[in-house]
Amino acid sequence: MDGYRSFVQPSDFLDKPYVSVSADVVVAEDEETAHELATGYAAWVRSIRTAEGAIEYPTPEQARAFEWRDEDRELVRDRVDTQFVGSPGQVADRLLQLQGATGADELLITTITHDHADRVRSYELLAQEWNWR
């Protein structure tokens, strides 16, 4: 971020650098449920990063059936390790840490689960928690 900020030249539209940082999240009422909903993330990311092409986001059962090789795990480790998964309070705490560490002006939140209703609920729970803060 410091490198980006040091090279930005003020303009008529923006007098200082504006930083937007994205975060992949899955929020549920409790941590265990959130981790269950996020089970398919690694397999989905793997499919995007290989020449196989993106797969439909798997159910937790489909994801657990996937046979992982060490190369597969390494291919997706960076994304899986940086996904924020948990209860509304847990995820909001981590997002505040991310914002503080990067000095972000804006957080761009994405969430993906197999079921659309779970994705909507993830956003709802995070929005409720964020408004409370």
Higher pLDDT, 122 or 54: 122
Q: Answer yes or no: is pLDDT of 89 > 90.
A: yes
pLDDT at 16: 84
Strand-pair partners of 25: 84
Q: Alpha carbon 102 to chain centroid distance?
A: 16
First CA to last CA across the chain, in angstroms?
A: 25
Instruction: Tell me how crowded residue 86 is: count the other CB atoms within 10 A of its CB.
Output: 21
Nearest one of 95, 112, 116, 93 to 104, comparing CA atoms: 95
Hey, what long-range contacts does 7-12 have (CB within 8 A, 24 or more apart)?
none
Question: CA–CA separation, 68 vs 45, rounded Å?
Answer: 13
Residue 68: its pLDDT value, please?
A: 95
Give the per-residue pLDDT at 3.
82
Note the pLDDT tens digit of each residue in 68-86.
999 999 999 999 999 999 9
Please state the length of the chain. 133
